[in-house]
Structure 1
Amino acid sequence: MRKKVYYLSTCSTCARIMKELNIGDDFEQQDIKTEKITEEQIDEMAKLAGSYESLFSRVAMKYKAWGLKEKNLGEQDYRNYILEEYTFLKRPVFIIGDQIFVGNSKKTVAAIADVL
């Protein structure tokens, strides 16, 4: 079964969740700051999640700084922004088998724990 996590090594929340879930060498780990997300990866995530918007973080610092709040963004926009700027990916993203878990809500973390 495929196990992968997209995370940010400088993010304390990602680190806490990975520690809490005992994420080890059985997971392929991709630090999105040092290893950029590819078009294939973002397309696969969106296919599993149902949309690019569900992968997009509106709490990213650059969301306001770039004036995106005032824009009417479509799916292609979300995809392009995530590819352009890693901080727009809602983190962490876990892919376990054919399931995807996006973000750091308690509910999401609990769902990952159930699957593991």
Structure 2
Amino acid sequence: MKNLFIYLDSCNTCHRIKVELELTDDIALQNTKEEPVTMDQVEFLKEQAGSYEALFNRRAQLYRGRGLHEKDLTEEDYKNLLLDHYTFIKRPILIYNNQAYIGNSKKVVAAAQEALS
């Protein structure tokens, strides 16, 4: 998997982390609204995270909007939702040297910074 930063252009947290990481030119940028994640990317990220559920953003407005918070979702449901709409994927995601750093927690951002240095 190529070096890649997956983010949402309208997300201030994604922009802040992108600046903090001081991304180099060898890391491609992918605005997930304009270029949704592919099946291959989702499969790779699932391998890294351990499950589709671990990639899922429960803070997405559509999560409650579609009543998903009231359902028992399966791994297949999570996979389909991740591929269905860009807001369901946790972000940002840095893929660097075949390692994925998923989300915006301080621990994940620190690990990404360490990998890049």
TM range (shorter): over 0.9
TM-score for both structures, normalised by structure 1: 0.94
Residue segments in structure 1 that go unaligned for 5+ positions in a row: none
Match in the other structure for 1:50 = 50
RMSD: 1.3
Deviation at 1:54, TM superposition (A): 0.7
Deviation at 1:8, TM superposition (A): 0.7
Deviation at 1:96, TM superposition (A): 1.2
1:77 maps onto 2:77 in alignment: yes
Tell me the matched-pair count: 116
TM-score for both structures, normalised by structure 2: 0.93
Match in the other structure for 2:34 = 34
Contact 1:33 1:86 in 2 (8 A): yes
Deviation at 1:40, TM superposition (A): 1.3
Match in the other structure for 2:60 = 60
The verdict on how the C-alpha distance between 1:39 and 1:2 changes in structure 2, with shifts beyond 3 A counting, is closer
Runs of 4+ in 1 over 3 A off after TM superposition: none
Could you give the per-residue CA deviations for residues 8-66 of structure 1, whole angstroms, max 9, x where no partner exists?
11111000000011113220111110012111111111112211111000111111110
Q: In the alignment, residue 65 of structure 1 is paired with which amino acid?
A: G
1:2 & 1:35 partners in 2: Cα distance? 15
Contact 2:5 2:93 in 1 (8 A): yes
Deviation at 1:71, TM superposition (A): 0.5
Match in the other structure for 1:104 = 104
The verdict on how the C-alpha distance between 1:2 and 1:41 changes in structure 2, with shifts beyond 3 A counting, is closer
- State, as a whole percentage, how many aligned pairs show the same letter: 47
Residue segments in structure 2 that go unaligned for 5+ positions in a row: none
Could you give the per-residue CA deviations for residues 66-85 of structure 1, whole angstroms, max 9, x where no partner exists?
00001001111111001111
SS of the residue aligned with 1:100? strand
